[in-house]
Structure 1
Amino acid sequence: MTVLSEGKRKLTILGILFMMVLSFAVAPLSTSAEAFPWMNKDLSAKERAQLLVEAMTLEDKIDFITGNVNNYYGFYNEGLDKYGIPALQMADGPVGVRIANPEVQNKQSTALPSAIGLAATWNTETAEKYGDLIGNEAHNTTHNVMLGPGLDIARNAFGARNFESLGEDPYLQGQMATSYVNALQSNNVLVTAKHYLLNNQEKDRFTSDSQASERAINEIYARPFASVIENADLGSVMCSFNQVNSTYACENPDLLTDLLRDNLNFEGFVMSDYGANVSTANSINAGLDLETPGEPYGLWGDELQQAVADGQVKEETIDQSAYRILYQMFDKGLFDNPAQNNPIDIAAHGEIARQIAAETMVLLQNDNKTLPLNTDKLDSLAVIGPDADTASAAGGGSSLVNPTYTVSPLEGIKSRAGSDIQVDYAPGTDSISAGDILPGPNAVPSSFLLPQAGSNENGLQATYWSNKNMEGDPVFEHTAKQVNLNLGFYNYEGFNAQSSKLDSLPTSLNGMMSARYTGVINVPKSGDYTLSTTSYGSSKVYIDGNLVIDNAGEKLGTVEKTVSLEAGKNYDVKIEYKTDYKDATGNDNGGQLRFGWEASDNVVDKNIADAVELAKKSDAAVIVTRTYDSEGYVDRSDMELPNNQEQLIKEVAKVNKNVVVVNESGIAVKMGDWKDKVDSIVQAWYPGQEQGNAIADVLFGDVNPSGKLPVTFPVDEDSTPVNSEEQYPGVDEVTKYTEDIFVGYRGFEQDGIKPAFSFGHGLSYTEFGYKKLKTKVTRSNKAKDQAVEVTLNLKNTGDVTGSEVVQVYTGKLPTNTETAPKQLAGFEKVELKPGKTKKVTIKLDPKAFSYYDEAKNEWVTPTGNVPIYVGSSSSDIRLKGNVQISKNTSNYFNKKNNSGSTNENIISSNGSNKNTAKHEKASKKNKKDDQARR
């Protein structure tokens, strides 16, 4: 036996270990290639998906397409290790990555501006940056599916979820979403666009029947989805809770098969919103591919297995759904480039968030050129607003992101103002909360309430029970600043965007609960006051022991009572509330209660009075207002700024001539009582975690505002195309879209309704001149394609560099069919230095020259003369022209608009491939794409 030296022995052992490690590293690859042929990257995504489906058992395929995880760690679909299938690890969107797992980066990610704010940039390059950042953070926080963007049209001016939308116009939505989705999916993250379809209100969103014409569906509501499907290879679509034309969206063959698959040529998969599936055979036969967990879950799984056994569902239908999901997973890189848990670049991403936030802001009004603020002329500045000193810069609900850091408006303004300007703060009103979503009068201000006579703090003593009869030991007690309660969905961790100044109530109160509030009310002026409760569940108000309000609360509603109160006198007040509404069965609607009032304008509470005193001694005043918007069970009931903020603005404007209002909201707000009393108004939407710095950038002129409204701002709730109860919120849970195609600015012009601010409106610190409009139909001999182009000269006629969004609209089409007076056909954002001119060329959307013919079930382009309008908004038209649509152009547009009309099934009953020559060609292209991606 040969004896090795100690040194040689060590080297030999190391060599053996190295070979063992190398063999283990290589073996899985060769074994994988043999055992899992679908892991061969030389095959196309379609071929790989086909092989995998053929290898799976029926039971495994059903398990794969049935959602199985919905817990504290998030939403995902477990993978199948025996096939090497990774889990679908989903994160809520669309304004950032909502991390549910506390073990992943402390659940923190970059909180970007709201989607409605992104739409206000009218900049597809910005949408690309936005989507790329989200995709990067999703991939590096263990997620491979993002639930967003939201492509729901902002049909209702004060919809609670408008902040998640990309506006009221389908073309603008489609252009912005296409850039967003392309960039996001480039990070090996699959996008799920939502909510398909007609999910345009929160009121009765789980059960309502949205009834719209086929024309409105095709021209307005499905168009953003069509754009992203055609131009961004969309991976997935989420079907909504509501019914569409009396059939639930997730089992609606007209939507999922006829429109989505056959007309729009969608090759991705359809997943249900969480708990939106209401059937077994009907849903999968209609075109649903993935049932996600949530009440009433369990309708697939074993039930689907039995439906196949009973002949209600064909096995090839199961194959088709599994194939669609797997194809997208292969195509988007989920198999080959699994999600990681890597630290995100907080500073770099924060800077991007700041840049985007500044670009979202819309300068609505700037009388006397109060903006930008001139630091050379300011010695003092008042910052006022209920939450201007906090980080409340987001809408609530599933899109709420836990930010990596925050900058409040007060912090941002103070930092930018510098040490030479005295910046002081006053809240002006009580903080905004989820209670402000409820209808009815404003909550009674805290400054008029005391937990007991002589107390040094304001509010009422509040006691809460987790039962509806105030029995046993209470679960929580505190001094509530106001009685303004909205629990259930709005009180869960991660779903709450209320002010950090307010106490969070225990989640044990989110179901059945009761509460008692006691203390005194003391008013500064004698007179009549209209007290009220708005409640779902019974509420009673006692003044000095006398019952003055008895609200049965069987439905959410308001009961009022006018009482006479003497100035400076303490009146004992007791309010009792129970969740004893008729359908109370332990659900999570939770408590909904507000103790409100209506008082004379000359009754000014101490918070407002303090803000007025600060404004009086300041050179200028910046008032930061906000609304609370969130998905849930109700929309905003009106367009009012909640919690006495309107009174705050008017009182401050009486004592300071240089008032700037910065409004943070996802909706249009009513400004009729105060718009003409202030100089400047900035619509800041929900700006995200960098809100303070971005607001300061715009106010001080470091960034020239360039945002344009993606929605029309009405004068009030009734002055819109959607203004009847039948249209919203609906009668007997049926919502009729009788405005048809005349949504948003189309309807305002059609009905002759004058808005407060038009769609596309937005001012700048400079001016722009438009000249020399030319229109023409261009033709390419090589491709024989045709397009309508407009060219014009745009000049910056002002003194500072700025960006203008050139907007092009078509007018009424040459047909007897009624068409919109204007519809957006193209736009381009152009930056110019002072005095500079640029020739701008914009290619127009063929659908802007077409309408959807329900009888023919296709898009039709009429021949003849079409007006062309070019301007700075839908109402600020600078140039007019026209274009002649010939028969040849009409035929080409008809072909282009209807090109997505075939979508053959891939999987046959025995799992064999039924690709046509078209599919074989697509397969080869996908193979090249896969290789290029690697």
Structure 2
Amino acid sequence: MLLLLFLILLSPLAQADSYHPPISSGYGNWSTAYEKARHFVCGLTLTEKVNLTTAVGTGQTLGYTLGIIPRLNFRGISNDDSPTGVRGTDYSSAFAPGLNLAMSWDRNLIYAQSYANGAEHKAKGINVALAPVSGPLGRSPEGGRNWEAFSPDPYLSGIAFGEAVSGMQASGAAAVGKHFILYEQEHFREVVEWNEWLAGPNITEPYSVTCDDRTFHELYLFPWYDAVHRGMAGVMCSYNQVNNTQVCQNDHLLNEVLKGELGFQGFVTSDDGSQHSGIDSALAGMDQTSPGETSPNGVDGFGESFWGPNLTLSVLNGSIPEWRLDDMVTRIMAAYYYLDQDDNYPELNFASSSLETYGYEYPKADVDWQQVNYHVDVRKNHSQIIRSVGANSAVLLKNTNNTLPLRRPKQIAIIGEDAGPSKYGPNGCEDRACVDGTVAMGWGSGTTNFPYLVDPLSAIQRRALEDGSVVQYVLDNWAIDQIGSVSSQASVCLTFINADSGEGYLEIDKNYGDRNNLTAWKRGDEMVKQVAVNCTQTVVIIHAPGPILMEEWIENPNVTAVLFAGFPGQESGNSLVDVLYGDVNPSGKLPWTVGKKRSDYSTDVLYEPNGLVPQLNFTEGLFIDYRHFDQSGIQPRFEFGYGLSYTNFSYHDIRIDEVLAPSATPSSSAASTAVNPSLCPSKSLNPSDYTFPATISSLTDYIYPYLAPSMTITTSLATPTVTIQPRTPSPQGGDPALYDVLYKVKVKVQNTGSVAGQEVSQLYLDLGNGEPVRQLRGFQKPLLKPGQTKDVTFDLRRRDVSIWDVVSQKWVEVTDLGTKIGVYVGASSRDLPLHDEISVSS
């Protein structure tokens, strides 16, 4: 039985003496980085430290010039999006998003694409890549930014999140995981979007989430363990509130959970508009601001900051102890040294605000006209990786009478706008916020510029030319007569439908980030039915950010194949052709459930505010997506983990071996008794030393750390007035025992078909204790030749066989609670032919 919310979230200044931020000492492989960082930080002045925490709001990139220190020849730290590539530049790749990485269920591909993405950020001179994404988790299928992330399953998301962090940081770029945490919809995330920009209902604060502690740990926090364990350098705190406290000033979430329980060693940065305070956010564990982070109710925000001079003042008057500022800067610089960015890191070579070669270095102030874009081509061979991700993530949902792969069809009809190019070009709409032509990426800050976009029509035509096939097409979804004529002549009809979603600051057809429905857009369902009337081999190809409803046509006997392609990135058409013609055997699996109707899902977006501060209560607890379908006995159209192949597989001989792992011991997280744990030698702070220098001419909308010359400070307040009890965090990723392998489950998988293929073999556990009857806890993707059998092994870690106990506030193995564990292995969450159990005696 789920227990009520344990999270105790502090109100700001009234309880300032309750703050207890962990002071990281650089555990494990962070130790050298922390030693270098402390040496660097202790040589800085107060204003130089402040400069490293506060983005200046104007410059070559929005996040550039964090911490320019001319006297030390330190050029600062640059930040940029995104999970699909370097945002706002040219000659870089447009990668597939987290959606397709999860659909691939392929650890190697996730790592490879993430490495390539990180390498492009580095080659452009970006220190910090604001990616990957595991928030939103995907609680509601309509959620606007689900496509940036991986899956509503916490295990699949955790594995993908960890691999993406490792791959990106192996390239040398720092990964900033986002968005922490419980950020599950776009509606009402910011006051300004809904009260002004979008002329929506009036609200006074962003929405607030209430979630019980067990659900919080076992669903939403679960993937973050894996990312922190893999050494993630940064975390971005989210827009929303939790228990009516902003996440970016939430002591419990940032200090106790992230930096304490998870032992996070890096820095916490705000999102644009997610910082709502100065002192409170600093004390609660935030370490860095986004550019020009001011009141989120403002429209522009540049030129003022909650930090900058306000942070300098807060240290001088004692509102924030200097050791807390030292810790903030140390964490930022530790990430810098952790990734060896002090060793010949490339200089920034582009301006995110413009693609012109020449422009102002400080565009907000119209100062310093110079070359700002060097148009460095950083793509290398990354198109091959993108093409591979697109092909290996395609999910074959239906294939009657072996319609696919195509075998030199005599005449092909290509139907639907989504098959062709946009009349505006691939980058014709702001941050991809339009649906015109084929869709290969959602919209918002998680996007990048396409260097090109291979549309399906052009790719299929090239292949058809080789085969001698006739190709006719109609790219207007409303051209009813033409669609009927062309489809009636064809041997096979490739029918393209789509849907889209994105971030809340943009909208398409009144879809304000979140989708308004789960149906195909632009007459998609009607078009499929029309084609099927005329064509006995109708193949439906879907580009969408998540599940769409298919009941209007899925059982039509003339709809003989359905392929879900997600958002494949720049190589979209090429990836599709690889699968349609059998050059690549489809091996993608669904990372979520396709229901038969919208009400099949237990969750939905809150579309109308239920108060001045909209309240989202996650009463469904652990039961989202397939967990809910299983609990409620709902038959899905296609279950979680489902996906067909051009071959067949069988499963045999399950065996469970217990591993002699060390017994779990409580991790050390005892609170320090020091009130002022000085990281650097104490210095006298004289306010007059930090006024604006007469030698500097201020730039418009540039954020400086200096105080106004006329400002006076009561020096009697220049000693800390806030009592803060520091605590020692856990090792990186939490208790190391959580990652001990306790069991190895071994099965045999055989390819019983006639062509080679990869099979995503999946392991699910029944943990009892009010848990879902099936939870993914392992997957492997072996490549098997026809007739070949391979041994497949799944490692079960201690955390995989544990549940969160809200009383003891720790993970507890269910066998210690007297519960045996059901173990199931197969091809999907509902196709599990092998079963065994782990007994209590083990």
> CA 1:792–1:620 in 2, change beyond 3 Å: closer, same or farther?
same
Specify the alignment match of 2:564 in structure 1.
683
Shift of 1:875: 1.0
> CA 1:82–1:161 in 2, change beyond 3 Å: closer, same or farther?
same
SS in 2 for 1:194: strand
Once the two structures are superposed, residues 490-526 of structure 1 have per-residue CA deviations (whole angstroms, 9 ceiling, x without a partner) of xxxxxxxxxxxxxxxxxxxxxxxxxxxxxxxxxxxxx
CA distance in 2, matches of 1:782, 1:673: 54
SS in 2 for 1:365: strand
SS in 2 for 1:335: coil
Shift of 1:129: 0.6
Equivalent positions of 1:918-929 (< 5 A) are none
> CA 1:632–1:796 in 2, change beyond 3 Å: closer, same or farther?
same
Specify the alignment match of 1:875 in structure 2.
830
SS in 2 for 1:75: coil
The question of whether the paired residues in 2 share the 8 Å contact of 1:161 and 1:630 is answered with: yes
Matched, 1:642 2:675: no
Length-normalised TM-score, structure 1: 0.68
Once the two structures are superposed, residues 406-446 of structure 1 have per-residue CA deviations (whole angstroms, 9 ceiling, x without a partner) of 211001111112251011110141xxxxxxxxxxxxxxxxx
CA distance in 2, matches of 1:672, 1:752: 19
Once the two structures are superposed, residues 705-725 of structure 1 have per-residue CA deviations (whole angstroms, 9 ceiling, x without a partner) of 000111112222211121586
Shift of 1:236: 0.2
Unpaired runs of 5+ residues, structure 2, are 1-29, 191-205, 296-300, 350-374, 427-438, 506-511, 665-736
| Aligned partner letter, 1:164 | E
CA distance in 1, matches of 2:274, 2:605: 28
Answer with 305-314 or 154-163: which moved more: 305-314
Specify the alignment match of 1:166 in structure 2.
150
Structure holding more strand per residue: 1
> CA 1:68–1:885 in 2, change beyond 3 Å: closer, same or farther?
farther
Higher relative contact order (CA 8 A, sep 6+): 2
Shift of 1:780: 5.5
CA distance in 1, matches of 2:340, 2:765: 41
The question of whether the paired residues in 2 share the 8 Å contact of 1:188 and 1:337 is answered with: no
Specify the alignment match of 1:220 in structure 2.
219
CA distance in 1, matches of 2:579, 2:130: 31
Aligned-residue CA RMSD in angstroms?
A: 2.2
Matched, 1:248 2:246: yes
Shift of 1:71: 6.0
Specify the alignment match of 1:4 in structure 2.
none
| Aligned partner letter, 2:519 | E
Once the two structures are superposed, residues 102-150 of structure 1 have per-residue CA deviations (whole angstroms, 9 ceiling, x without a partner) of xxxxx23111112111111111111111111101111111211100111
> CA 1:724–1:52 in 2, change beyond 3 Å: closer, same or farther?
closer
> CA 1:45–1:662 in 2, change beyond 3 Å: closer, same or farther?
same
Specify the alignment match of 1:384 in structure 2.
415
The question of whether the paired residues in 2 share the 8 Å contact of 1:729 and 1:735 is answered with: no
Equivalent positions of 1:6-405 (< 5 A) are 44-70=32-58, 73-78=61-66, 79-100=68-89, 107-152=90-135, 153-206=137-190, 207-230=206-229, 232-293=230-291, 294-296=293-295, 298-340=305-347, 341=349, 343-344=376-377, 346=379, 348-375=381-408, 378-390=409-421, 391=426, 392-405=439-452
Shift of 1:82: 2.0
CA distance in 2, matches of 1:161, 1:848: 27
> CA 1:865–1:155 in 2, change beyond 3 Å: closer, same or farther?
same
| Aligned partner letter, 1:877 | L
> CA 1:717–1:781 in 2, change beyond 3 Å: closer, same or farther?
closer
CA distance in 1, matches of 2:605, 2:336: 45
Say which of 783, 790, 802 aligns to 1:838: 790
SS in 2 for 1:859: strand
User: Percent identity among equivalent residues?
Assistant: 33
Specify the alignment match of 1:760 in structure 2.
641
CA distance in 2, matches of 1:652, 1:729: 41
Specify the alignment match of 1:800 in structure 2.
755
Unpaired runs of 5+ residues, structure 1, are 1-41, 101-106, 430-604, 890-934
The question of whether the paired residues in 2 share the 8 Å contact of 1:824 and 1:848 is answered with: no
SS in 2 for 1:127: helix
Equivalent positions of 1:816-895 (< 5 A) are 817-863=769-815, 864-886=819-841
Specify the alignment match of 1:653 in structure 2.
532
| Aligned partner letter, 2:243 | N
SS in 2 for 1:150: coil
> CA 1:855–1:112 in 2, change beyond 3 Å: closer, same or farther?
same
CA distance in 2, matches of 1:253, 1:43: 25
CA distance in 2, matches of 1:142, 1:693: 30
The question of whether the paired residues in 1 share the 8 Å contact of 2:500 and 2:544 is answered with: yes
> CA 1:190–1:729 in 2, change beyond 3 Å: closer, same or farther?
farther
Equivalent positions of 1:429-508 (< 5 A) are 429=477
> CA 1:77–1:821 in 2, change beyond 3 Å: closer, same or farther?
farther
Shift of 1:862: 2.3
Specify the alignment match of 1:427 in structure 2.
475
The question of whether the paired residues in 1 share the 8 Å contact of 2:85 and 2:92 is answered with: yes
CA distance in 1, matches of 2:125, 2:222: 32
The question of whether the paired residues in 1 share the 8 Å contact of 2:92 and 2:378 is answered with: no
CA distance in 1, matches of 2:486, 2:609: 42
Shift of 1:848: 2.8
SS in 2 for 1:76: coil
The question of whether the paired residues in 2 share the 8 Å contact of 1:113 and 1:687 is answered with: yes
Equivalent positions of 1:582-593 (< 5 A) are none
Once the two structures are superposed, residues 355-381 of structure 1 have per-residue CA deviations (whole angstroms, 9 ceiling, x without a partner) of 111011000111222111111xx2100
SS in 2 for 1:117: helix
CA distance in 2, matches of 1:249, 1:754: 37
Once the two structures are superposed, residues 855-888 of structure 1 have per-residue CA deviations (whole angstroms, 9 ceiling, x without a partner) of 11111112231111111111111211111244xx
The question of whether the paired residues in 2 share the 8 Å contact of 1:114 and 1:666 is answered with: no
The question of whether the paired residues in 2 share the 8 Å contact of 1:791 and 1:839 is answered with: yes
Specify the alignment match of 1:631 in structure 2.
503
SS in 2 for 1:679: strand
CA distance in 2, matches of 1:748, 1:397: 31
SS in 2 for 1:692: helix
Specify the alignment match of 2:203 in structure 1.
none
> CA 1:140–1:786 in 2, change beyond 3 Å: closer, same or farther?
closer
CA distance in 2, matches of 1:849, 1:323: 36
CA distance in 2, matches of 1:277, 1:333: 29
SS in 1 for 2:118: helix
The question of whether the paired residues in 2 share the 8 Å contact of 1:114 and 1:685 is answered with: no
Shift of 1:52: 1.3
SS in 1 for 2:599: coil
CA distance in 2, matches of 1:283, 1:730: 27
CA distance in 1, matches of 2:663, 2:630: 40
| Aligned partner letter, 1:369 | N
Specify the alignment match of 2:742 in structure 1.
787
> CA 1:725–1:311 in 2, change beyond 3 Å: closer, same or farther?
same
> CA 1:884–1:70 in 2, change beyond 3 Å: closer, same or farther?
farther
> CA 1:345–1:289 in 2, change beyond 3 Å: closer, same or farther?
closer
SS in 2 for 1:306: helix
Specify the alignment match of 1:602 in structure 2.
none
| Aligned partner letter, 2:226 | S
CA distance in 2, matches of 1:869, 1:781: 26
> CA 1:427–1:254 in 2, change beyond 3 Å: closer, same or farther?
same
- Bigger Rg, structure 1 or 2: 1
CA distance in 2, matches of 1:317, 1:269: 13
Shift of 1:668: 0.8
Shift of 1:846: 2.4
The question of whether the paired residues in 1 share the 8 Å contact of 2:33 and 2:334 is answered with: yes
CA distance in 2, matches of 1:793, 1:828: 12
The question of whether the paired residues in 2 share the 8 Å contact of 1:195 and 1:238 is answered with: yes
Shift of 1:305: 2.0
